[in-house]
Amino acid sequence: MAKIKKSDQEWRQQLTPAQFNVCRQKDTEPAFSGQYHDHKEAGLYRCVCCQTPLFDSKHKFDSGTGWPSFWEAHSKENVTTETDQSHGMRRTEVLCNACGAHLGHVFDDGPAPTNLRYCINSIALELDSK
């Protein structure tokens, strides 16, 4: 996968301030505030920064956490993870593999068949409902 590299200034020109804070500065949107946490429309969720396909609506479920949750990524090659030890916790951060955007975190308390819960910031996503 080709890696997308841009300066902070280029990202700031492309993204809203809130998108920049979440995707480039690893912030988190407040629970239940994002447009996709309770969204039911079918489609493909893409990275708001680079349009890489990340999650399919058929893998979305209501986790009750206030963020969109998926039990599987659209393609394992399109997301990557790394250890996040911020805020006194040890979590697994989810990033777009193409541009490095912070998407959210993945936990092992999701439904079968994967038992994963990708807990993703709505603001990091753009729904392609074609």
The sheet that has 102-107: what strands, in order across it? 60-61, 69-70, 117-120, 102-107, 91-96, 79-84
Q: Is the alpha carbon torsion for 55, 57, 62, 68 positive or negative?
A: positive
Q: Of 23, 49, 96, 119, which residue is the catalytic one?
A: 119
Does the annotation mark 47 as catalytic?
no
Catalytic residues: 119
